[in-house]
Structure 1
Amino acid sequence: MFSETQRLASTGASLAYHHAEAVGPARGILLISHGLAEHSKRYRGFAEAMAVRGYHVYAHDHRGHGETTAPDAPIGRFARRGGVDRVIGDVLAMRAYAAMRHPGLPVILFGHSMGGLIALNAAVTAPADFDAVAVWNSNFAVGLAGRAAQAILLAERMLKGSDVPSGLLPKLTFAAWGKSVAGRRTAFDWLSRLPGEVDKYIADPLCGFDASVSLWLDLFELTFRAPQKLHLDRLPRDLPIHLVGGGEDPATERGKAVLWLSNHLKASGFSRISTEIYQDMRHETLNEIGADAATAAFADWCDEAVARFQTAKF
């Protein structure tokens, strides 16, 4: 059952993960990479819906999140050093475990927000490991503002260390996004138009924490690394890639960052890019009005990706 927390060892960490078994004949494996300041258990509804569609679903907590434990990764930090490589390695460990349990099935990697940053970086790190990739609500288009934020974080690290929360980045991101919502009820209304979903996030002790300076620096490393030509060139140009954004999501500039990634990938020669901007949605597509329809559309896309894989293989 997805609600049960299971454990997998990965490079000094004990990864907490959840699993939903495919209902009926299995079509493939779906790995879920969650976002910043949340955890994998929040994806239960999505996982169970995808299991009904024939996918073995695995979702783990990243280091510094949820119930995953590691000596150098308290809540809010990937690792003291090398955090990016550690979290990518965890995705690959989860993939290897799932593939061992279900040999011969295609593997689809799904990531939301920060999880999308990790997912695309995992794909370019191990291109043979994934048969399709989905990146939802992620912002790779931070540009000069992102470089300025990196400079601020480096200054903070020099002044007060890397293990403490950043003083400025939460104001430039979460706080600013919250203030951008007209008539907001809470500081987290930017996540969803559904008050009940926002309230569940606020009440969850494993959500909404302050990220450390080192974690913010790791996020920007992920943001700038994957879109570079030398990394994208490792991926097959016919890799199915599914991009989703919200037209009212301040974290992606109302979907503009998602469109930027779509155009960047197409300009880089990728031929199987599917892009959907849900005009009225905010940041968390899976916890929004219309989530069921978005999930069904994604499952249809997965079925097509799996069919293409099976045709190519057999």
Structure 2
Amino acid sequence: MIVSELTYPDGYQTEVMHVQADQSIGKIFMFHGMLEHHERYIEFAHFMANNGYDVFVCDLRGAGTSAHDQNTYGHLAPETGFQQLVDDAQYLINQHEDERPTYLLGHSFGSLLARRLGQVMGHALSGVIVVAPPPHPGVAGEIGHRLIATAMNRKGATHQSKFFERLLFGRYNLKFLPARTDSDWLSSVPDEVDSYIEDPNCGGLPSLGFLHEVTRASLDVTTSARIHEHPKSLPVLFVAGVDDPVTHDGEGLNGIIQKYRKADIELTVVTYDSARHEILREAHREQVWLDILAWMKQIKTH
């Protein structure tokens, strides 16, 4: 495993983990979720590398140790922050361009990034894996986005608001009450929940700018218009836990599946009973990994 520092054209620095396969048959770029970091994907990355895929995982802008060092942890610039993540990802992918098939995998907020990349550079890709996908948040999401924008205009983009963090994410734990922690919705495995809580590079209060970009991306990337930008020839795999409150929020998983099918995009959906949000770290994670691998192997010949 190689961990290197990548500097983007604007000077922002991040860490990139590269897990190399002995005999590579493809590349997979992974994008983590909100307020977590690349090191949480080491176990899965090694599994994929052992099965022939070079894996690249970087800390997204505003996440991980690099963000702490640059005083940007949990913050994205309003209006431009999500597009900056798209530009960053394209820059990373282009650094490793070659003839091998290229796959993208995004978890949660990272899945919005992976889906957007599929829409803007899909003809250069072989497959997109969408893990624990936020669907379109509906009217509630639109109202929340407007409220965040109003608060941001008054208090500034870097202001951290416990109220809005609770408004957007606090309800996710409700179905698991009485809960052991505020983060039980992440996984049915207590040790995994504790690992997240105890990790200094996970969690914390995001800025209003960050929340603005999360809600804006959720509203934009999941629209029918955006989904129709995705090439019909680019296969997509949706992987989700049946008990994941994020995936079933807003219009829900079924709503976004219908949009992809109406757009005539080749779509495979796999769901797992008793699994919560962090499906790659759930009790039956190895089955999830095997299913992702099997899907990649079967589309490789298309």
Do they fold alike, i.e. is TM over 0.5? yes
Which stretch has the larger CA shift, 229-238 or 84-93? 229-238
Structure 1 residues 228-258: Cα deviation after superposition (integer angstroms, max 9, x where no partner): 3443333221211000111111122279722
Q: Distance in 2 between matches of 1:201 and 1:285?
A: 14
Shift of 1:118: 1.0
- Structure 1 residues 186 and 228: CA distance shift in structure 2, 3 A: closer
Q: Who is 2:29 aligned against?
A: 31
Shift of 1:273: 0.3
Shift of 1:69: 4.3
Q: Who is 2:21 aligned against?
A: 22
Shift of 1:73: 6.3
Q: Who is 1:312 aligned against?
A: none
- Alpha-carbon RMSD across the aligned residues, in angstroms, is 2.0
Q: Distance in 2 between matches of 1:141 and 1:80?
A: 19
- Structure 1 residues 255 and 55: CA distance shift in structure 2, 3 A: farther
1:91-110 alignment, distance < 5 Å: 91-99=89-97, 103-110=98-105
Residues 128 and 236 of structure 2 are in contact (CA less than 8 Å); yes or no, is this contact kept in structure 1? yes
Q: Distance in 1 between matches of 2:189 and 2:69?
A: 37
- Structure 1 residues 140 and 11: CA distance shift in structure 2, 3 A: farther
Q: Who is 2:64 aligned against?
A: 66
Counterpart amino acid of residue 226 in structure 2: H
Question: Is 1:83 aligned with 2:77?
Answer: no
Picking from 2, 5, 11, the partner of 2:3 is 5
Counterpart amino acid of residue 50 in structure 1: M
Residues 246 and 255 of structure 1 are in contact (CA less than 8 Å); yes or no, is this contact kept in structure 2? no
Picking from 152, 158, 182, the partner of 1:157 is 152
Shift of 1:171: 1.1
Q: Distance in 2 between matches of 1:231 and 1:193?
A: 33
Q: Distance in 2 between matches of 1:230 and 1:141?
A: 12
Structure 1 residue runs without a partner (length 5+): 309-314
Q: Distance in 2 between matches of 1:173 and 1:148?
A: 11
Structure 2 residue runs without a partner (length 5+): none
Picking from 267, 271, 287, the partner of 1:273 is 267
Partner SS for 1:301: helix
Partner SS for 1:95: helix
Which stretch has the larger CA shift, 123-132 or 203-212? 123-132
1:46-195 alignment, distance < 5 Å: 46-69=44-67, 74-79=72-77, 82-99=80-97, 103-195=98-190
Higher relative contact order (CA 8 A, sep 6+): 2
Partner SS for 1:251: coil
Partner SS for 1:77: coil
Picking from 174, 198, 203, the partner of 1:203 is 198
Shift of 1:225: 2.1
Structure 1 residues 124-153: Cα deviation after superposition (integer angstroms, max 9, x where no partner): 122233221111112122010110101110
Structure 1 residues 8-31: Cα deviation after superposition (integer angstroms, max 9, x where no partner): 1213211211111013x2121000
Picking from 286, 297, 301, the partner of 1:303 is 297
- Structure 1 residues 268 and 72: CA distance shift in structure 2, 3 A: farther
Shift of 1:198: 0.8
1:213-292 alignment, distance < 5 Å: 213-253=208-248, 257-270=252-265, 272-292=266-286
Residues 22 and 56 of structure 1 are in contact (CA less than 8 Å); yes or no, is this contact kept in structure 2? yes
Partner SS for 1:289: coil
- Structure 1 residues 239 and 279: CA distance shift in structure 2, 3 A: same
Residues 117 and 140 of structure 1 are in contact (CA less than 8 Å); yes or no, is this contact kept in structure 2? no
Counterpart amino acid of residue 210 in structure 2: L
Number of equivalences: 301
Q: Distance in 1 between matches of 2:107 and 2:153?
A: 31
Residues 247 and 255 of structure 1 are in contact (CA less than 8 Å); yes or no, is this contact kept in structure 2? no
Which stretch has the larger CA shift, 110-119 or 154-163? 154-163
Shift of 1:260: 2.0
Residues 108 and 130 of structure 1 are in contact (CA less than 8 Å); yes or no, is this contact kept in structure 2? yes
Residues 35 and 202 of structure 2 are in contact (CA less than 8 Å); yes or no, is this contact kept in structure 1? yes
Counterpart amino acid of residue 173 in structure 1: L
Shift of 1:81: 5.6
